[in-house]
């Protein structure tokens, strides 16, 4: 069969050339071992810094959806580009007052007054940043996103029910609330667990959301400082006044998700280090000979594990330089390389 013969000849040729290539590399490494080790160390040292350039990606629609012809994702990105909703979310700190008691109404005057007291402490909170030799002091009203309503351009944008009087709260419609100071506001954005009355007004709510939006023109250092002070202030209130408040508090800032992700990643790194130590100990015990010191290969185990660590660091560094997004699937590569590397060392 001519086709089969041609395939066999081609396969044999490719195999021969690959064998010659790997044989040449092996001869070079064997002839110049120290140069080979030095070259590996230099390459590793140049690639490892790329780890700092790695960017993560956790959005399911980007990780697991087709990269091309994904109409839903393209429309979401187009909407974000036009309306800028992602930027607004990133510059918003949230405070949620909620209750798990179905019989409790958070629109009660006592609850609103307690929440308003916390709110006033937040907006009056004074933050300070240093710029050179000067210190700049500011409050939320200095950096807040402004209202878009005509005649109220200098006011901050709508935060929540604390911006409304008790009479206005009693007449909040079930869907959209129109206020001359803030314009049309979807009720679902600041009232949760709503119960409507017979006249289509909100009778009770189980959650009150306050959103403190910062203007896009605000300097990032000022925004970061205010968010840190906001977090400290709310944590102090929750700790000192929490038991006496008629509701529970939940809060977050722009970096909340990032901080939680960092905590999770830090714990994973600790487990990774523990696994490396355990594998090194296992490799040392297996390769070490207690009876024959000459035939013992204990130090070879450290070299093998070191080579595995260099390979992992170099590969992730190259991934960072190449701008390949880090995702949950890539995390398993570390353990795969560790297992295969130790297996090859035996």
Per-residue pLDDT tens over the stretch 69-108: 554 555 555 445 543 444 445 678 888 888 877 778 888 8
pLDDT at 249 over 50: yes
Instruction: Give the whole-angstrom CA distance, residue 251 versus residue 235.
Output: 9
pLDDT at 132 over 80: no
pLDDT band, very low/low/confident/very high, at 238 (cuts 50, 70, 90): confident
Which residue has 């590969």 as its token pair?
315
Closest by CA to 284, choosing from 330, 235, 345, 240, is 345
Q: What are phi and psi of 337, to 5 degrees?
A: -65, -40
Task: Return contacts of 15-23, CB within 8 angstroms, 24+ apart.
Answer: none
**Same structural domain, 157 and 51:** no
**Same structural domain, 207 and 239:** yes
**Same structural domain, 226 and 269:** no
Instruction: Classify residue 71: in a domain, yes or no.
Output: no
Instruction: Classify residue 173: in a domain, yes or no.
Output: yes
pLDDT at 268 over 70: no
Domain boundary among 253, 281, 305: 253
Instruction: Classify residue 325: in a domain, yes or no.
Output: yes
E strands of the chain, at which residues? 92-98, 127-131, 134-138, 176-179, 183-186, 191-192, 195-196, 202-204, 207-213, 248-252
Instruction: Classify residue 9: in a domain, yes or no.
Output: no
Closest by CA to 140, choosing from 186, 87, 192, 95, is 95
**Same structural domain, 183 and 235:** yes
Instruction: Classify residue 179: in a domain, yes or no.
Output: yes
Print the domain residue range for 291: 36-60+259-345
pLDDT tens-digit map of 279-321: 888 888 887 777 777 777 777 888 888 888 888 888 888 888 8
**Same structural domain, 114 and 228:** yes
Q: How many domains does the chain have?
A: 2
Give the pLDDT of residue 121: 92
Give the pLDDT of residue 67: 52
**Same structural domain, 107 and 215:** yes
Domain boundary among 220, 253, 286: 253
Instruction: Classify residue 19: in a domain, yes or no.
Output: no
Rounded to two decimals, what is the model's pTM? 0.57
CA angle (334 as vertex; 333, 338 as ends), nearest 5: 110
The DSSP output letter for 56 is B
**Same structural domain, 157 and 248:** yes
pLDDT at 136 over 70: yes
**Same structural domain, 162 and 294:** no
For the residues 140-148, what does the mean pLDDT come to?
86
**Same structural domain, 323 and 206:** no
Range 104-135 burial, b when 16+ CB lie within 10 A, else e? eebbbeebbebbbebbeebeebebeeeeeeee
pLDDT band, very low/low/confident/very high, at 248 (cuts 50, 70, 90): confident
CA angle (79 as vertex; 76, 83 as ends), nearest 5: 145
Give the pLDDT of residue 262: 59
For the residues 192-218, what does the mean pLDDT come to?
85
Instruction: Give the whole-angstrom CA distance, residue 176 versus residue 172.
Output: 8
Q: Give the CA dihedral 330, 336, 342, 345, nearest 10 degrees.
A: -90
CA distances to 161, 206, 247, 302 from 190, rounded to whole Å, are 7, 11, 16, 59
Contacts of 21 (CB under 8 A, 6+ apart): none
Instruction: Give the whole-angstrom CA distance, residue 207 versus residue 160.
Output: 11
Q: Give the CA dihedral 188, 189, 191, 194, nearest 10 degrees.
A: 10
Domain boundary among 253, 288, 311: 253
Say which residue, 294 or 113, is predicted with more confidence. 113
Task: Please give the mean pLDDT across all residues of the chain.
Answer: 79
pLDDT at 208 over 80: yes
Instruction: Classify residue 233: in a domain, yes or no.
Output: yes
Which residue has 């709503």 as its token pair?
194
CA distances to 93, 108, 111, 137, 259 from 208, rounded to whole Å, are 14, 11, 10, 30, 24
The DSSP output letter for 145 is P
**Same structural domain, 248 and 263:** no
Which residue has 């710029």 as its token pair?
131
**Same structural domain, 244 and 276:** no
**Same structural domain, 248 and 295:** no
Instruction: Give the dihedral sign, CA 141/142/147/153.
Output: positive
Beta bridge partners of 93: 212
Please give the structure tokens belonging to residue 34: 């120290």
Question: Please, are residues 249 and 237 in contact by the beta-carbon 8 Å criterion?
Answer: yes
Instruction: Classify residue 24: in a domain, yes or no.
Output: no
pLDDT at 17 over 70: yes
Helical packing angle, 33-47 and 298-321, nearest 10°: 40
């Amino acid at each position: 069969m001519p086709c089969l013969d041609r395939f066999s000849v081609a396969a044999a040729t490719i195999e021969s050339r690959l064998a010659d290539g790997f044989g040449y590399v092996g001869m070079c490494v064997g002839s110049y071992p120290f140069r080979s080790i030095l070259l590996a160390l230099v390459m590793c040292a140049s690639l490892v810094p790329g780890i700092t350039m790695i960017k993560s990606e956790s959005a399911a629609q980007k990780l697991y959806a087709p990269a091309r012809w994904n109409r839903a994702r393209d429309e979401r990105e187009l909407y974000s580009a036009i309306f800028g909703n992602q930027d607004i979310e990133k510059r918003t700190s949230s405070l949620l007052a909620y209750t798990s008691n179905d019989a409790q109404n958070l629109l009660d005057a006592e609850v609103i007054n307690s929440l308003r007291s916390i709110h006033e402490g937040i907006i009056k909170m004074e933050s300070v940043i240093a710029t050179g030799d000067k210190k700049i002091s500011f409050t939320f009203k200095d950096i807040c996103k402004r209202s878009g309503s005509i005649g109220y351009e200098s006011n901050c944008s709508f935060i929540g029910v604390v911006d409304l009087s008790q009479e206005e709260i009693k007449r909040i419609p079930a869907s959209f609330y129109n206020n001359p100071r803030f314009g049309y506001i979807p009720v679902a954005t600041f009232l949760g667990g709503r119960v409507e009355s017979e006249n289509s007004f909100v009778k009770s709510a189980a959650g009150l959301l306050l959103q403190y939006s910062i203007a896009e023109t605000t300097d990032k250092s000022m925004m970061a400082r205010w968010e840190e002070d906001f977090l400290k202030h709310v944590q102090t209130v929750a700790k000192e006044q929490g038991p006496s408040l008629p509701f529970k508090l939940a809060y977050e800032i722009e970096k909340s998700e990032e901080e939680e992700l960092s905590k999770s990643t830090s714990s994973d790194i600790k487990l990774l280090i523990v696994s490396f130590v355990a594998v090194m100990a296992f490799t040392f015990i297996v390769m070490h000979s207690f009876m024959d010191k000459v035939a013992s290969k204990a130090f070879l185990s450290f070299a093998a594990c070191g080579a595995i660590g260099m390979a992992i660091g170099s590969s992730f560094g190259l991934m960072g330089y190449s701008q390949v997004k880090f995702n949950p699937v890539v995390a398993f590569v570390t353990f795969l390389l560790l297992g295969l590397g130790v297996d090859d060392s035996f």
